[in-house]
Structure 1
Amino acid sequence: MKVEKLHINDHEEQVKDVVMLAARILLEAGAEGTRTEDTMNYIASHYGFIQNNSFVTNTVINFILHDQSYPRIYRIKERNTNLIKISKVNSVSRKLVRDELTLEEAFGLLEKIYITTKDHPVWFKTIAGALIALSFLYLQDGLPIDIFTTLAGGALGICITEIIKRRTPTQFIPEFFGGLTIALTVVTGHYYIPGGDLSTMLISSVMPIVPGVLITNAIQDLFGGHMMMFTTKSSEALVTSFAIGAGVSSVLIFV
């Protein structure tokens, strides 16, 4: 009986390990709380633990397999947007539920995803930011004369934001300096290349650093009844937007 009990406990710990690592990757990659809790529940339920309970916020994971097991708690200290990680974790969880992977194999794949799937480099995000800004310029019927200034503003803004993010864990400061950089770039470009619309260029250039994924996830959590996640994410998005606006306003107030 002792051997059997030990075997069962080992199995439970393996399930917990897989569930917690999957949840950790999802939350750190910017997934919404509803998706994270559903993934945790699907994996645990597949192995017969129907009474499992999970509760996540954007900073904490709480999970208990059943009433007689010890709970697991993990503090999320860093968050970013990495849709590749989210997609890969979803793929692993689906294969696990279809019995195409064992718990050991799933845990190994999740570890590999966590370690090797890195965020995009700064140069890649800089190019992407420039293209996003240009796209919004087109959507707002911007003038051809505004293209170069908007490209420069979007590229430099997200570049500065990402560099500061990787050097300091402080929230909202990177977005402030990103907004400040965008405003300085756009105002300078508008001065040397006059004739365009300053407001259109500012709005377009700011779009790459606007927390759009955060706002979308907050709304999804609201529809899913996850009020804690909705409150925390919407508050974070609000303060982030305020930081961007403060950075832009700091320049415009002197123009």
Structure 2
Amino acid sequence: MKAESGEAYFERIDGRTFHLQHICSINQLSRDYVDGRMELVDIHRELLRVAKEQPKLALWKRLCWTACLSGSVMLIFGRVYQDVPAAMAAGIMAYLCYLFLSRALKVPFLAEYGSAFLGGAVGCLMYMLIGVHLNLIMMGAVIPLVPGIAITNAIRDMMARHYLSGLMGAIEAICIAGALGAGIACVSLPIVPGITFYEAFRGLVTGNNGAAAVVFLQVAYGAAGIACGMIIAEVLYRHTIRRILHHCAR
């Protein structure tokens, strides 16, 4: 919000980024002003200079940090070193897709959805090649895209009673998380059943009949659960929900 001549108006901000170097520079300017080393005119000039600066990290460095972040999830939760390269590859592909889609598309949250979808697909492929735990690989694929800073800032603003900015940040973070979850779900629905049957077939081929039987039992239990859920939903609709709707229509 900006005030000039007694009037106030709001300015729309389409995109937000977080630059810790900008924060450090502005904090140093405030310290210099408090200590009396700079005047307001100098502060204004330096703020304009900081605003024009665009600190950028080289792409290969960002990819290295993305790979480290995705791989560290495997060590924290599963301690399965075989899943580390699979999660790294999935995380790197998801991040590259996010960089491309965020520049090519102007639709909100579509870049997060597409990058999560591609990262999940690469994670499934790497799981079939060298992976052990599919869930952890999926987690490592999307962990670089999780809006951690936005969630932290939203919680801090809410605790500081800045409810408007905190609520806006929380809603944005929830939408981003929902887009990431939707991308992973769209990959998991068609691919995970195929991977399950692939594991059962591999168990039969390698002679591990026990593992194949366990997989088939899991599929049978899942199908039975879905069938029971559909039957219960149908019974509830016929005997409860339809009557309520009928009475409401009267």
Does TM-score exceed 0.5, indicating one fold? yes
The letter of the residue matching 1:105 is D
Aligned-partner SS, 1:78: coil
Alignment pair present for 1:150 and 2:87: yes
Confirm or deny: 8 A CA contact 1:214 1:234 kept in the other structure: yes
The CA deviation at 1:190 is: 0.7
Q: Which deviates the most, 80-89 or 232-241?
A: 80-89
1:121 & 1:248 partners in 2: Cα distance? 28
Confirm or deny: 8 A CA contact 2:116 2:141 kept in the other structure: no
Q: Deviation digits for residues 165-214 of structure 1, max 9, x if unmatched?
A: 233333211111110111011100011224x1000111122111000000
Q: State which of 165, 178, 185 in structure 2 corresponds to 1:242.
A: 178
Structure with higher helix content = 2
Confirm or deny: 8 A CA contact 2:91 2:119 kept in the other structure: yes
Gaps of 5+ in 2: 192-250
Q: State which of 31, 38, 61 in structure 2 corresponds to 1:101.
A: 38
Q: Which deviates the most, 215-224 or 203-212?
A: 203-212
Alignment pair present for 1:222 and 2:158: yes
**TM-score (structure 2 length as normaliser):** 0.70
Matches within 5 A, 1:24-43: none
Confirm or deny: 8 A CA contact 1:146 1:201 kept in the other structure: yes
The CA deviation at 1:232 is: 0.7
Alignment pair present for 1:115 and 2:52: yes
Alignment pair present for 1:132 and 2:108: no
Q: State which of 14, 26, 29 in structure 2 corresponds to 1:92.
A: 29
Distance 1:162 1:224, change over 3 A: same
Aligned-partner SS, 1:253: helix
The CA deviation at 1:133 is: 0.7
Alignment pair present for 1:172 and 2:109: yes
| Aligned-residue CA RMSD (Å) | 2.0
Corresponding residue for residue 187 of structure 1: 124
The letter of the residue matching 1:246 is A
1:178 & 1:157 partners in 2: Cα distance? 5
Aligned-partner SS, 2:78: coil
The CA deviation at 1:94 is: 2.5
Q: Deviation digits for residues 117-139 of structure 1, max 9, x if unmatched?
A: 33434433222111111112111
Aligned-partner SS, 2:102: helix
1:160 & 1:87 partners in 2: Cα distance? 30
The CA deviation at 1:69 is: 4.9
Confirm or deny: 8 A CA contact 2:74 2:81 kept in the other structure: no
Q: Which deviates the most, 81-90 or 244-253?
A: 81-90
Distance 1:172 1:121, change over 3 A: farther
Q: Which has the larger radius of gyration?
A: 2
The letter of the residue matching 1:206 is V
Q: State which of 12, 20, 43 in structure 2 corresponds to 1:83.
A: 20
Q: Deviation digits for residues 14-61 of structure 1, max 9, x if unmatched?
A: xxxxxxxxxxxxxxxxxxxxxxxxxxxxxxxxxxxxxxxxxxxxxxxx
The letter of the residue matching 1:198 is L
2:8 & 2:32 partners in 1: Cα distance? 25
Gaps of 5+ in 1: 1-61
